[in-house]
Structure 1
Amino acid sequence: MIKVIVVDDEKPAVDELVYMLKAYEEVEIAGAFTDPAEALDFIRKTSVDVVFLDISMPEIDGFMLAEVLIKLTSPPLIVFATAYDEYAVQAFEIHAIDYVLKPLTEGRLLKTINRITKQLQQKKSDMAPIRDMLNTTQNPKRYNKLPVWKNDRIYLIDKHDILFCTTNESETAIVTLKERFITSDTLADLENQLDDKVFFRCHRSYIIRLEAVSEIIPWFNNTYAVKFQGCKEEVPISRRNTKLFKTLMCIK
């Protein structure tokens, strides 16, 4: 079975696509959501094969959600279902498996299902040797440290000691409870090295370790700032990322 969820802020669009997908015996509708934040919370807890995703949604649009999904340990395939054709190039840059225009037809949806089936079969075949190699050679402890330079020496920082990472125009810093290290990595480089279940890109200039947050401070324009135990610095949560942050921190 192909486990599918549908995400679209318009309920009629969700209902229509769910109805069409139910015509395929090999498809299991695992969930349908009008709130992308709720969809993300569901996907983090439940393994799904495919996400049918609208692009134009308020607060968390389809591309923002897709960027989070593709960083998961077992990312689902993404099909963008949208009324707009101008985002196709950007969609495939995110490695979407398909891009379909509303209103969907049965013939076009069949092509998408066939493409999904083929891709899932290929994915299992491609991942088998990689999975075997990792099981025999990977040392989990090897990835618990980040190497950084300080005073002409390389220090290995335990990732669980990191409070936050930040950048300005001239440098990128990794802040722990005891020290502040300067690294040649960009914030994007660090984001790729840090587990997205533990760390969150809360702002274009900050990555925070969610478990290290000790205080959440309401800020202007319905945003927040956070503080960490033993650290005086406040870190802002951008307005763009506020809703996702609230979901991750279980803030109602």
Structure 2
Amino acid sequence: MMKIGIVDDRQIDLDKIHGIICSVDGVDIVFSTTSAEEAYEQIKKQSIELLIADIEMPHLSGYELADIIHSHALNITVIFVTANSGYAVHAFELQVHDYIMKPYSKERLIQSIERLMEKNKKSEITGRLYLKKKNNIHIVQKKDIIFIERSGRSTTIHTKTGPIITYQTLNELEGELRDRDFLRSHRSFIINIHFVTNFSLYAKNSYIVSFEGIEEKAMITKENVDFLQKHYF
């Protein structure tokens, strides 16, 4: 079930989007609002996969919402439904899924949503990591990886369900984890930034990383902390 949020400051346009989405199988409308500020608060509190937004709204615009999602590396896809064509280039830079001009047909929006759902189904397969373990291969969902640690000749994959040990190197695994979620934080660590809860100063040029859900820690260089602050947080 794809969870969707909708925001458009014109009630008539909001009702149109809401009505169209209700006719699509496999979707759940989490919130529907005329306020971009309210949409932002809902995004912080609730998990959604798709935001459908007008662009030009008072106070906080749909473009600014999309920019927040992009800069914070939130796993939310954006579809703009707008009467303004002037943001098309910027929308491309923010990697939005679609840019739909008003007025539009019911079929146009439905096709866009169905195309995204099909894309997500395909990405579920590529979203798996195949780990070689002696005579077998262990399959783990990338989104469940908290961090990866290299120690001696073995590598430990710390996941939401527990650790997995493999003999693949960090360089090999890094090639499989080129998603925006993962960062080679240190020569011995790869971290999933979505699980990070705290950085604690360890030495002049390094920090200890704490994660949600586990006690194990990782390391990150000061250079990479500065990079995260600039591009993610």
Range into which the TM-score falls when normalised by the shorter chain: 0.5 to 0.7
**Aligned pair in 2 of structure 1 residues 69, 157: CA closer, same or farther (>3 Å)?**
same
One-letter code aligned to 2:89 = V
Aligned-residue offset at 1:79: 0.2
Partner of 2:204 in structure 1?
154
Aligned partners of 1:114, 1:49: CA distance in 2, in Å?
A: 13
Q: Calculate the TM-score normalised by the size of structure 2.
A: 0.60
Gaps of 5+ in 1: 148-152, 161-182, 197-252
- Whether 1:190 aligns to 2:229 is yes
**Structure-1 residue corresponding to 2:115:** 115
Kindly tell me: are residues 8 and 110 of structure 1, through their superposed partners in 2, closer, same or farther at Cα, counting changes over 3 Å?
A: same
Deviation at 1:131, TM superposition (A): 3.2
Q: How far apart, in 1, do the equivalents of 2:128 and 2:112 lie? A: 24
Change (3 A) 1:141 1:24: closer
Separation in 1, partners of 2:196, 2:26: 40
Could you list the per-position Cα deviations for residues 139-193 of structure 1 after superposition, in whole angstroms to 9, with x for gaps in the alignment?
Answer: 778971479xxxxx93446899xxxxxxxxxxxxxxxxxxxxxx989x8763336
Q: Partner letter of residue 199 of structure 2?
A: N
What percentage of aligned pairs have identical amino acids?
24
Residues 158/79 of structure 1: CA separation in 2 closer, same or farther (3 Å cut): same
Post-superposition offset of 1:128: 3.1
- Aligned mates of 1:37, 1:192 — CA distance in 2: 23
SS in 2 for 1:12: helix
Q: For residues 145 and 10 of structure 1, do their structure 2 counterparts lie closer, same or farther at Cα, with a shift above 3 Å needed?
A: same
Aligned to 1:29: 29
Aligned to 1:144: 199
Offset of residue 86 of structure 1 = 2.4
Residues 186-243 of structure 1 show CA distances to partners (whole Å, capped at 9, x for unaligned) of: x8763336xx4xxxxxxxxxxxxxxxxxxxxxxxxxxxxxxxxxxxxxxxxxxxxxxx
- Whole-angstrom CA distance in 2 between matches of 1:19 and 1:65: 23
1:1-252 pair list within 5 angstroms: 1-72=1-72, 74-129=74-129, 130-131=142-143, 133-134=145-146, 136-137=157-158, 144-145=199-200, 154-156=204-206, 190-192=229-231, 196=233
Asked if 2 retains the 8 angstrom alpha-carbon contact of 1:146 and 1:159, the reply is no
Q: Does the aligned pair in 1 maintain the 2:51–2:77 contact within 8 Å?
A: yes
- Taking the aligned partners of 2:204 and 2:2, their CA distance within structure 1 comes to 47
Deviation of 1:29 after TM superposition, in Å, equals: 1.5
> Which stretch has the larger CA shift, 112-121 or 76-85?
112-121
Shift of the 58–126 alpha-carbon distance from structure 1 to 2, 3 Å rule, reads farther
TM-score with structure 1 length normalisation?
0.56
Relative distance call for 1:28 and 1:36 in structure 2 (3 A) is: same
C-alpha root-mean-square deviation of aligned residues, in Å? 3.3
Structure 1 residues 56 and 157: CA distance shift in structure 2, 3 A: same
Q: Matched residue of 1:70: which SS?
A: helix
Distance in 1 (alpha carbons) for counterparts of 2:108 and 2:48: 22
Query: Is the 2:21–2:110 contact (alpha carbons within 8 Å) kept by the matching residues of 1?
Result: no
For residues 142 and 28 of structure 1, what CA distance do their matches in structure 2 show? 29
* Paired residue type of 2:5: I
What is the rounded CA distance, in whole Å, between the counterparts of 1:133 and 1:9 in structure 2? 38
Extract unaligned runs of 5+ from structure 2: 130-141, 148-156, 159-189, 211-221
What SS class does the counterpart of residue 204 from structure 2 fall into?
strand
